Amino acid sequence: MAGDWRSFYFHRGPLFVGSEKSFEEAVYAAFGAPFDGTSSYRPGSRFAPTQLRIVSEYLELPRESLISLCDLGDLPPTNSVEAMLRRVGEAVEKICEADKIPVILGGEHTVTLASASSMKGVDSLIIFDAHLDLRSEFMDTRVNHTTWLRRLLERRDFRRVIVIGARAYVDEEEEFAEEKGVDVVSSREAFFNFGQSIRKVESLINDAEEVYLSIDIDVLDPGCAPGVGNPEPGGLSPIQLFTLIELVSERLELRGIDVVEVNPLFDNGLAAANAVYAVYRALLASATRSS
């Protein structure tokens, strides 16, 4: 990224959450990572950054003026995992060096391997996801949307790693989660006793301070968000998702956030609308906490 590193990005129409702040004055800096090179079932999440921006233009977002956000645009698209990881990692490092909070618009979940790896000082990782993404290997590759969290936890330690809404994983993932101390709050727990799930999350984050938040929109039930790469029945409701996101963002210092796996090719904008609102609730809660 020679010269002004921001020239590496390009814009595609509307700005995310109607942002008109300059980079210099903003607290949060958003950029798109249009990548779905390892998608195994329904590719199309590379189109999500544009869809997220379009949807955000037409949602009524109360108090959005409290969110000091700039939109840098999208990184250039690529089918290379290595190029994507390098570009996203460099972008996050530059944003953090400028003392801004990165907001990454995916793209598939492999994007988080780069962004979370590049965050300094974050002690906790909280993930909303139908899957654990802790496979050792999948489809003959070691770096993809089902293995990214395992690769991340092999690289660095966190005080807390919590996956909320999980309901689809194999034995090796469950074993690795136990080995690494990954806490899981299943969607089944939330369905039968949401109040107890809230208390469980409150207890788990009690010793956390600075958090990176990753929102895989397939955490929602497919009836609420059909436009995802790998839909799994039995997910959270939008209200449950927003409530838990607000809880985390109000209690902890938000240092970075991403939203991933929205696939505009498979619904009429419902998944994107829920994804935009989820990020909005996190940023608003974080901004209110900091004010």
Domain ranges of the chain: 5-290
CATH number assigned to the domain covering 5-290: 3.40.800.10
- Supply the angle between the helices 194-204 and 238-251 in degrees, to the nearest 10: 20
SS3 185: strand
Local confidence pLDDT in tens for the 291 residues of the chain: 555 767 666 665 688 997 889 999 999 999 999 999 999 999 999 999 999 999 999 999 989 999 999 999 999 999 999 999 999 999 999 999 999 999 999 999 999 999 999 998 899 999 999 999 999 989 889 999 999 999 999 999 999 999 999 999 999 999 999 999 999 999 999 999 999 999 999 999 999 999 999 999 999 999 999 999 999 999 999 999 999 999 999 999 999 999 999 999 999 999 999 999 999 999 999 999 877
Token pair of 83 as six digits: 């190029």
136, 173 contact by CB (below 8 A): no
- Residue 133 Ramachandran class (φ > 0 left, ψ -120 to 50 alpha, else beta): left
Residue 172 main-chain phi, psi, to 5 deg = -65, -30
- Supply the angle between the helices 238-251 and 270-290 in degrees, to the nearest 10: 20
Token pair of 251 as six digits: 């209690």
In DSSP terms, which residues pair with 127 in a beta bridge? Answer: 163, 214
Average pLDDT, the chain: 94
Q: Summarize pLDDT for 167-180 with one digit per residue, the tens.
A: 999 999 999 999 99
Distance CA 109, CA 146 (A): 8
Distance CA 74, CA 49 (A): 8
Burial, 174: exposed, middle or buried (Cβ in 10 Å; 0-12, 13-18, 19+)? middle
pTM for the whole structure: 0.95
Q: Summarize pLDDT for 25-68 with one digit per residue, the tens.
A: 999 999 999 999 999 999 999 999 999 999 999 999 989 999 99
Distance CA 172, CA 183 (A): 15
Percent of residues in the chain assigned helix, strand, coil, to nearest 5: 45, 20, 35
Distance CA 46, CA 284 (A): 26
Per this entry, what is the length of the chain? 291
